[in-house]
Structure 1
Amino acid sequence: MRSAFASSASPVGLGLLPDPTRALSARLEDLDKGFPLHQMPLGFGTLAYRIAGAGPTVVLLHGIGSAAGCWLDVALTLRDRFRILAWNAPGYAGSTPLRQAHPSADDYAAALHQLLAHTGVSECVMVGHSLGAIVAGAYAARDRRAEVQRLVLLSPAQGYASHDAARREAVRTRRLTLLETEGIDGIAAQRASALLSNAATPAMQEWASWNMRQISPAGYRQAVSLLCDSDLLSRPAPAMPVDVRVGNHDVITPAAHGQAVAQAWNASFALIDGAGHACHIQCPAQVAEIVCRALPNRRAG
């Protein structure tokens, strides 16, 4: 039987890396055992999250077409040295949608604040992928209980609030029409492959699709509203250091988008070689290294 872990080690000494070619059944077993699901009560319902490991805390925020499980291989790689916390955003995979029909980034950040308080996080490195970058930016800008020591934005979405109304509504209509006509399974069937480069294995594509199917229709509608009505760069540059990384094969938020964020926020910028949009699924070892180097006193010389 194939081992769940590959024999190569991370350049930053994180030990054995999960085997990116393992089957979905093996991934789900790893998910249950190594990155288990928990729930916490909220005033309007529950919030689901996954947690593993011990040490300095890393908070992982997924994108619009995913869920906490997408971080599995990154979490398994980092858990021996760090405490890894990934939420299912409101409306995703067991988390109750927010009360607001059209929640703002600040509304998501308020829910995240409750999660970090519940799990006793006093300081962390926060990683936001795609739409998760908008939530991370909102959280970093608020009066926080948890100190964000550094922001890592992977293929950040900027949102469409700065675009003209026609462009903004076209994006909203296209996504919501697909939801109504095809459902969540149809969205996964049509969009999951776009998250990865052409070099992705079938196992990676299957994993991206499984995570995309964890969305609830209500949660997706709210997330589409967040995407269309937000502008990441409308906020001042965060007080803490920021790193922006983008897969060099990302066709959803390509390099130029990440460079614009990096320039506006005086952030470091680099490409992730071989990765598409879902870099943490396709190149988890490289993402784990990026996160590890973001921890205080652990940056490369």
Structure 2
Amino acid sequence: MLTETKYALADGELAAVEIGDAKSADTTIVFLHGWLDNAASFFTIMEAFHQLAPQYHLCAIDLPGHGLSTNKAGSNFYLFHDYVDDIYQLMPHFSPNRRIMVGHSLGALISACYSAAFPEQVAGLVQIEGYAPLFEDPDACVARMREGVISRHQYRSVPARGYDSVKTAIRHRSQVNKIPPALIAPVIERGMRQVGDLWYWRCDAKLKCDALYRMSPAHAKQIMKQVTCVDRVILGEEGYPYLHQQCTELTEKKPEVFTIAGGHHCHLEQPQQVAELILGLVNKINEGLE
């Protein structure tokens, strides 16, 4: 059911996993995963959604530096806004009829920025455990720049960590993310490679470096103000509590907010419910077009 594909970018390739026909479907749903995850984060949701509505095209990508996608070239440190450019290069490969964006965590922030910048390309937006792009008070900008540069120096001097088995890596991420090993296992298995007797993360180690810059609250508020498509936010009961406040304070156009059982990776814990919520948004869009 799930098909592996590749899409060329100006600098490298995006790996993707898809269901359906990218060119003929009247609706494409693009899934963007969270930081240090990959397309496997959405496999169970895609399978559940396909059972509910097999006529739609579904595409989950590995963001650059993640999963099976290529790393950014040279000394590129994955500036947040560059992801928006990556998605802009991806979109022409899909039918222009109707596109829905679904993002988890980092993917939710990218999806929001893309929806604001290119509203003509996005008919609907579903954000899972993420809302506005990361922001902070301008007074923190010098400390942010200092710590970001230091983190790059540390990256250059610390060797990569290897695991004796994929099972050990799954157990480690399970503890960090507070999620059962079986649920996070597909993400880990897609995100590892073997070198000699050890297993290493495929993701580019530069992804762990701190950002040198974050936008101000005013910038983030302006971006969210310009998200004009139909949107839903899905939050975990044990997820990031500050997201509830952001959904009510950052924009006058309040999104529909749904709280489901689980933590920050609630979509892995409740894939059927999340698939139904995504389909509900698609149906709402379709009803508005009738």
Fold agreement, TM-score > 0.5:
yes
* CA apart distance, 1:118: 1.7
Of residues 248, 252, 256 in structure 1, which corresponds to 2:242? 256
Partners of 1:190 and 1:223 in 2: CA distance: 17
Native 8 Å contact 1:48 1:95 kept in 2: yes
- Percent identity over the alignment is 21
Native 8 Å contact 1:184 1:216 kept in 2: no
Letter in 2 for 1:50: V
For 1:101, the equivalent position in structure 2 comes to 76
Describe the SS at the equivalent of 1:112: helix
Partners of 2:135 and 2:66 in 1: CA distance: 23
TM-score (structure 2 length as normaliser)? 0.73
Of residues 169, 172, 185 in structure 2, which corresponds to 1:206? 185
The alignment status of 1:229 with 2:214, answered yes or no, reads yes
Letter in 2 for 1:210: E
For 1:12, the equivalent position in structure 2 comes to none
Describe the SS at the equivalent of 2:102: strand
Native 8 Å contact 1:176 1:221 kept in 2: no
The alignment status of 1:246 with 2:213, answered yes or no, reads no
How many pairs does the alignment contain? 258
* CA apart distance, 1:50: 1.1
For 2:61, the equivalent position in structure 1 comes to 87
CA distance 1:88–1:162, change in 2 (3 Å): same
Letter in 2 for 1:108: Y
* CA apart distance, 1:119: 3.0
Partners of 2:212 and 2:183 in 1: CA distance: 25
For 2:264, the equivalent position in structure 1 comes to 277
**Deviations for 1:218-256, whole angstroms, at most 9, x for unmatched residues?**
3x5247556963575452421112211111022xxx133
The alignment status of 1:297 with 2:279, answered yes or no, reads no
CA distance 1:85–1:208, change in 2 (3 Å): closer
RMSD, aligned CA: 3.5
Native 8 Å contact 1:243 1:262 kept in 2: no
* CA apart distance, 1:143: 3.6
Of residues 30, 35, 43 in structure 2, which corresponds to 1:64? 35
* CA apart distance, 1:294: 0.9
CA distance 1:217–1:78, change in 2 (3 Å): closer
Native 8 Å contact 1:160 1:168 kept in 2: no
For 2:100, the equivalent position in structure 1 comes to 125
Which deviates more, 74-83 or 259-268?
Answer: 259-268
Greater gyration radius: 2
Native 8 Å contact 1:37 1:49 kept in 2: yes
CA distance 1:47–1:140, change in 2 (3 Å): same
* CA apart distance, 1:51: 0.9
Describe the SS at the equivalent of 1:294: helix
Partners of 1:97 and 1:204 in 2: CA distance: 26
TM-score (structure 1 length as normaliser)? 0.71
Segments of 5+ residues of structure 1 without an aligned counterpart are 1-33
Of residues 113, 118, 124 in structure 1, which corresponds to 2:88? 113
CA distance 1:176–1:66, change in 2 (3 Å): farther
Partners of 1:195 and 1:278 in 2: CA distance: 8
